[in-house]
Amino acid sequence: MKTKLAQFAILTLVCLFSLHTAHAASLSGKQTKGTSAQSQAKLECSPLKISGNKRISAISGNNAGFWIMKDGQVVARFYKKNDPSAVGTVLPAGTYYVYPNLPKGASTATVTLSIN
C-alpha cells in the first residue's frame, strides 16, 4: 500500500511538472558586431508568438541589456546584463522578438527570456 501511494505521489509530481513546463517558452536573440565601418551589426531572433498574457520569468545570456519588439515597435528596453527588473514583465498576446545590446569590447551578444 505504501509503495502504491509513493508511486502515485511521484506520478502526480511528474504530471504537475509536465503541465508547468508545457506552458513555458523561450525567446532568444543574438547580435553580432559589424566587421568594418561599412558593415552593419547582424541581429538574429526566431519570433515567439504567445496567446494571452505571459510573464518573463528568467533571463540569461551574455549581454549589456536587451530590447523587446512587437509589431515593429520597441515595447521594452532593459540596460543591465540579464536585467533583473525585466522579470515579471507582462507580455500581452502577440509575436515578439528580443535583441541583446553588445557588451563593451564584445563581438557577439546573446539573450534568452523564459516566458511563462
Residue 18 lies in a domain: no
H/E stretch holding 10 reads helix 2-22
* Edge-to-edge strand list for the sheet holding 42-45: 42-45, 25-32, 108-115, 54-60, 90-91
Q: How large is the C-alpha radius of gyration of the chain?
A: 19
Q: How confident is the model at residue 75 (pLDDT cuts 50, 70, 90)?
A: very high
Give the per-residue pLDDT at 82: 94
What is the rounded distance in angstroms from the CA atom of residue 48 to the CA atom of residue 92?
A: 12
What value does the mean pLDDT take over residues 65-89? 97
What is the rounded distance in angstroms from the CA atom of residue 70 to the CA atom of residue 47?
A: 9
Total of domains in the chain: 1
Q: Report the range of poorest mean pLDDT among 2-11, 69-78, 89-98.
A: 2-11
Phi, psi of 95 (to 5 degrees): -110, 125
Residue 32 lies in a domain: yes
Residue 34 lies in a domain: yes
Q: How many CB atoms lie within 10 A of CB 33?
A: 14
Give the per-residue pLDDT at 26: 97
- The tens digit of pLDDT for each residue in 16-39 reads 554 444 468 999 999 999 887 667
Task: Give residue 41's domain range.
Answer: 26-115
Give the per-residue pLDDT at 20: 47
Q: What is the pTM of this model?
A: 0.77
What value does the mean pLDDT take over residues 39-53? 93
- With cell 552593419, the residue in question is 40
